[in-house]
Structure 1
Amino acid sequence: MHAIEDLAGFAADHPRGALPVAVRDAIRDLVTDLLGAAAAGLHTPLATAARGAAPALHGPGPCGVWFTGMGLSVAGAAMANAAAASALDIDDGHRGAAGHPGAGVIPAALAVGQALGSDDAAILDAIALGYDVALRVGASRPTGSFDTYASGRWVGYGVAVAAGRLLELDAGAMAHAMAIAGAEGPISFATGSSAYQGSTVKEAIPPAVVAGLTGAFRARAGATGPLDLLDRDDRFARVRLTGGLGADWALLHCYLKPYACCRYMHAAVDAIAALRQPGRPVVSLAIETFPQGLRLSNARRPATLEAGQYSYYFSCALAALHGVTALQPVDPAWLHDADVLALAERITLSAHADFADAFPVGTPCRVIVDHGDGPRALTVHHPLGDVANPMSRAQITDKFRRIAAANVPAARRDAVLAALDGLTADGFAPLLAALKHDTTDTMTQQGGTTDALLV
């Protein structure tokens, strides 16, 4: 049997509503975290362009574009919401897969569930199974075989599973849904081969969402895909793909991100926060990291938020001068701040032998900073949000309130969080109702950002 068929059989036939309590609670936290990321990214160029293109490309429909009042088709809403959720690089991730599952799986599951009127148990199952399959595919790739860490390469498999589960595909059709999504998903450029880290292409998650949805709906209509797609042992380790299905849920091993920058540098940011002496000059700042960290674009003077998210120099200079709140999320004005850019020019960044084999299981960093009284060093192996250093429910909701504040008024944030707190008991209907409210006019009156494409 092909690996895709094993995964499809598990995804299609897993008993309905039989998720462990820990998995259901984790879904509540992951949805909370992702909606915060989407609210924070709502008016970024990436998200604004996606919303502007979606009606013409995908047409109107019953599925909500979160926090806007817009109704689009399944693909349009899922793509637009995925763009907002992934825009600021503050969405959930997974060490083994080296990428971000939630920004693909959750928008797809909620859009399909809303369009079909799926019940709560079905949506929860779809999210859990979508995460599991996506992360198994991503984590099964031997590290040396990666030509890109872009999440769009593998998250479409999970989107196809989430949609297929809600469409009630049988195991055979589910396998073809995954195969179509995998064969026709975005290619994305190899890491270091392009300037894509400074553009709105980024992780290629929105097109992977469209590809995954397309795979599920086409499979329901009878289309077929290459079922041997995951059968290459040099590219996909079978034991990671299919071992322990249903016994160890991959979403329980996701990390959350308190800062709007690539996860590679979160350990450095935590170390800077611990060593920082506000008000004192930074005489020198050195960062020692794992070799893959040097493969980021690492622009000292990033021109866009996306470029800043992939720069140790910029993100760490910002944290050193203005604290971690400046990364929750990043105000585009910091891209032009003379002091931040001057420090970014002086930071030294190197790979250290201590961390040579850390990635992707870990992303440790050592920071050496001198505030004028001699160098002080700190090594962080598990930054805040890692499975070994998790964020509490209170920290997750606090993150939501903080990063959504610029785009969503306080009363609306409270309504969304109340619905999220009751998600496992009350279901998705209160949440979808809270997300439907258009915050644009309210935020304009309060002096917040507006979006001409929504008027």
Structure 2
Amino acid sequence: MKNKPPVLADQALDPSSQIPPHQLPASNHRYDSSTSALLARWVTEDLTNRIPGDVGEKMKLSILDGLGCVIAGMNTQLTEIVLTGRLKHSGQAGPILLPGRQLSCGLLDATYIAGQAANALDFDDCYRGKASSHPGATIVAPALLVAHARDCHGHELLQAVTKGYEVSLRVGQAVDATAQRKERVTGYSTWQVFGAVASAAALMRLDVGQIVNALGLAGSQAPVPNVRKLVELPFSWLKNGYGISAEVGVLSALLAESGLRGPAEIFDGDSGFWIMCGSDRYDCELAREELGIKWLSREIEYKPYACCQWTHTMLDCISDLRHEVPLERIEHLEIRGFVELAVTLNADLPDNIIDAQFNARYLAALAYLGRSPANGLSTSDLGADDVAAFAQKISLVHDPLLDIPYHAREAMPVQVTVTDISGRRFVRALQDPAISMTPEQIKQKFQRLCAPILGAAKTQRLLEAVLNIEKHSAREIVNLTMPE
């Protein structure tokens, strides 16, 4: 056999001398049957007339709710710090508009900042169960910004957001760790990177091979699971790290589009993403089965309170009790709850809004005093004498029996007992927080968040544009997010 001539360096870099790096070997069934390939094929599909009507309407509400959180979150102290630190070192301004700000920057800068802003108020959507998370934080804003950059139409944006939710939640379920493992290591932004990359890839019209590479690149660059460090005092202002997760997703799609290879099987096998993200188990069928038939996005929950969802059942109980027992007659208030509420969120009273979002006694005191987190959190309440005085009457008790439904299905059981000055006891017990925000309530929440920034008239125009997204371009929607 004759020796092959050596490949010169310039030939190795010449695309015409190689198989395009994004193409998968046509005969390699190992790759064709991988979870990456299956998800990639689905992301390339046209879902016109295939998304059930209720799912489509739910996704419009998710875009509306997520966009409201980004616009309001852009105008917080937290995001101001992030924005300053990020843009101070950027090389150029860039053409991408930042929702809620009179600023523009590059796509990746905008994606990072918007990802952090989405979760700044802790008002963004939630998913419970095997993929517990704030899924919209790494999907809605990144998709909108990519759609803005690529001049996509609203119907493309709606499909991309839907694909992002489905891919993200399925991966999250597939890599979900045991309760014992989560006691040591857990996080959301690690696997939520796949929501960002799936929605971006759909809008960029990547082919199957490119998307497989994009998924592999995203998993290889995903942030570490940080929740157990996040909840150590003082709380990290990075929070869940959704900015870098969103950016990595979009960057991975851009790199794959340019021809960069990633692992072709990022999810499967003994060294798959499940162990990379700190899990101790993996069920690939949860990522694969009934894709496009069973819509996990139907189970998205919208937050009525601007604080950690672990406190929401407690706040619902207090909302009932405060109408029965006047404030001046309360002797003691006991909150009996599952571990994350009663232990993780049990701390001294906060001196900043981030700590306040995760402080159960502080939030309980605010709610009973009539300053519910449903209206957002205010710096004027930090250190307030009446809040501090009432918080002294509150005790948190960890009940291990309540951990059982929490670990089994992300239930958030709480029992609140109020004892009045005569010794009478009033009890409210709930298994889960209320999740039945109506479309009208979500619209009202959006108006409360955005009107102070955009003005009432422009907020209404933006609301109508999102709810009729098929009639608008992404750039039209982004332009409506600019303050007057």
Q: Of residues 171, 177, 183 in structure 1, which corresponds to 2:214?
A: 177
The equivalent of 2:243 in structure 1 is 206
User: What corresponds to 1:222 in structure 2?
Assistant: 259
Give the 3 Å change call, closer, same or farther, for CA 242–196 of structure 1 in structure 2. Answer: farther
Distance 2:402 2:92 in 1: 49
Equivalent residue in structure 1 for 2:370, among 285, 299, 322 = 322
Tell me if 1:351 matches 2:398: yes
SS in structure 1 at match of 2:170? helix
| In structure 1, distance between residues paired with 2:397 and 2:233 | 23
Structure 1 position 414 matched with structure 2 position 446: no
Q: Within 2, Cα distance between the matches of 1:418 and 1:345?
A: 46
3-state SS in 1 of match to 2:96: strand
1:17–1:122: 8 Å Cα contact kept in structure 2? no
Match of 1:274 in 2: 320
Q: Aligned with 2:305: secondary structure?
A: coil
Hey, what does 2:205 align to over in structure 1? 168
Q: Residues 24 and 336 of structure 1: is their aligned pair in 2 closer, same or farther, counting only changes over 3 Å?
A: same
2:218, 2:252 within 8 Å by CA — same for their partners in 1? yes
Query: Which of 178, 185, 196 pairs up with 1:143?
Result: 178
Give me the whole-angstrom Cα distance separating, in 1, the residues matched to 2:149 and 2:49.
Answer: 20
Asked if the contact 1:328/1:403 (under 8 Å) is kept, the reply is no
1:331 matches 2:378: yes
Q: Sequence identity, in percent?
A: 26
2: CA distance between counterparts of 1:318 and 1:418?
Answer: 33
Q: Does residue 396 of structure 2 align to residue 362 of structure 1? A: no
**Would you say 1:254 and 2:300 are equivalent positions?**
yes
How far off its partner does 1:327 sit? 4.1
Q: Structure 1 191/46 Cα, relative in aligned 2: closer, same or farther at 3 Å?
A: same
- Contact 2:138/2:193, CA 8 A, preserved across alignment: yes
TM-score relative to the length of structure 1: 0.88
1:108-123 → structure 2 map (5 Å cutoff): 108-123=142-157
Q: Report how far residue 188 of structure 1 moved.
A: 4.2
Counterpart check, 1:28 vs 2:60: yes
Q: Which amino acid aligns with 2:224?
A: I
**Could you say if the C-alpha distance between residues 404 and 375 of structure 1 is closer, same or farther in structure 2, counting changes exceeding 3 Å?**
farther
Q: 3-state DSSP class of the match of 2:396?
A: strand
Report the secondary structure of 1:212's partner residue.
Answer: helix
Distance of 1:301 and 1:383 partners within structure 2? 23
2:277 paired residue number: none
Q: Kindly state the Cα deviation for residue 37 of structure 1 after the two structures are TM-superposed.
A: 1.6
After superposing the two structures, state which structure 1 stretch, 368-377 or 225-234, moved more: 225-234
Query: Which residue of the partner structure matches residue 46 of structure 1?
Result: 78
Contact residue 327 and residue 368 of structure 2 kept, 8 A: no
Indicate the SS of the match to 1:379.
strand
Equivalent residue for 2:165, pick from 131, 141, 161 = 131
Q: State the shift of 1:284 in Å.
A: 1.0
Q: Distance in 2 between matches of 1:288 and 1:316?
A: 12
In 1, distance between residues paired with 2:230 and 2:454?
37
| 2:114 pairs with 1:87 | no
Report 1:288-307 matches (<5 A): 288-307=336-355
1:238-295: CA deviation from partner (whole Å, max 9, x where unpaired)? 1211111111122111111010111011010010000004543432111122223345
Change (3 A) 1:319 1:148: farther
- For 1:10, the aligned partner's letter is W
Q: Report 1:372-387 matches (<5 A).
A: 372-373=421-422, 374-384=424-434, 386=435
The letter of the residue matching 1:219 is: A
In 2, Cα distance between equivalents of 1:283 and 1:293: 22
Verify the 8 A CA contact 1:294 1:350 in the aligned structure 2: yes
2:8 — aligned with what? none
CA contact (8 A) 1:196 1:202 kept: no
The code of the aligned residue for 1:81 comes to A
1:93-125 CA-partner distances (Å, limit 9, x unpaired): 100211111111011111111101112222111
Counterpart AA for 1:135: L
1:287 equivalent in alignment to 2:335: yes
User: Take 2:248 and 2:293, find their aligned partners in 1: how far apart are those partners?
Assistant: 28
CA separation of 1:116 and 1:336: change in aligned 2, threshold 3 A: same
Name the larger-Rg structure: 2
Number of the residue aligned with 2:50: 18
Tell me the number of residue pairs that the alignment of Structure 1 and Structure 2 aligns: 433
CA shift in 2, pair 1:148/1:107, >3 Å: farther
1:188–1:204 contact (8 Å) kept in structure 2: no
Which residue pairs with 2:483 in the alignment?
A: 438
Residues 367-424 of structure 1, C-alpha deviations (whole Å, 9 max, x = no match): 111243522111122322x2xxx21111101112223354443233222223233334
- Residues of 1 paired with 2:124 and 2:228: CA distance? 20
Counterpart AA for 1:367: V
* 1:313 pairs with one of 356, 361, 378: 361
SS of structure 1 residue aligned to 2:157? helix
Listed as ranges, the gaps of 5+ residues in structure 2 are 1-32, 275-279
When residues 190 and 43 of structure 1 are mapped into structure 2, their CA distance, relative to the original with a 3 A threshold, is closer
2:286 paired with 1:236: no
- Supply the AA of the counterpart residue of 2:362: F
Question: Per the alignment, in what secondary structure is the counterpart of residue 382 of structure 2?
Answer: helix
Tell me how far apart the structure 1 counterparts of residues 234 and 293 of structure 2 sit (CA, whole Å).
Answer: 36
Deviations 1:174-198 (A, max 9, x none): 1221121122111143515763772
For 1:451, the equivalent position in structure 2 comes to none
**Change over 3 Å in CA distance of 1:17–1:427 after alignment to 2:** farther
Question: In 2, Cα distance between the equivalents of 1:256 and 1:280?
Answer: 33
Query: Relative to structure 1, is the Cα distance of residues 194 and 257 closer, same or farther in structure 2, using a 3 angstrom cutoff?
Result: closer
Partner Cα distance (1:80, 1:93) in 2: 20
Give the counterpart letter for 2:405 in structure 1.
Answer: A
Amino acid at match of 2:100: F
Query: Letter of the aligned partner of 2:333 in structure 1?
Result: L
Q: Report the AA paired with residue 64 of structure 2.
A: T
Contact 2:306 2:357 in 1 (8 A): yes
Residue type at the aligned position of 2:119: S
Residues 425/361 of structure 1: CA separation in 2 closer, same or farther (3 Å cut): farther
Structure 2 residue 39 is the aligned partner of structure 1 residue 2? no
Contact 1:150 1:204 in 2 (8 A): no
Gap change, CA 1:191 and 1:197, over 3 Å in 2: farther
For 1:98 and 1:104, the matched residues in 2 are separated by 14
| Aligned mates of 1:265, 1:320 — CA distance in 2 | 14
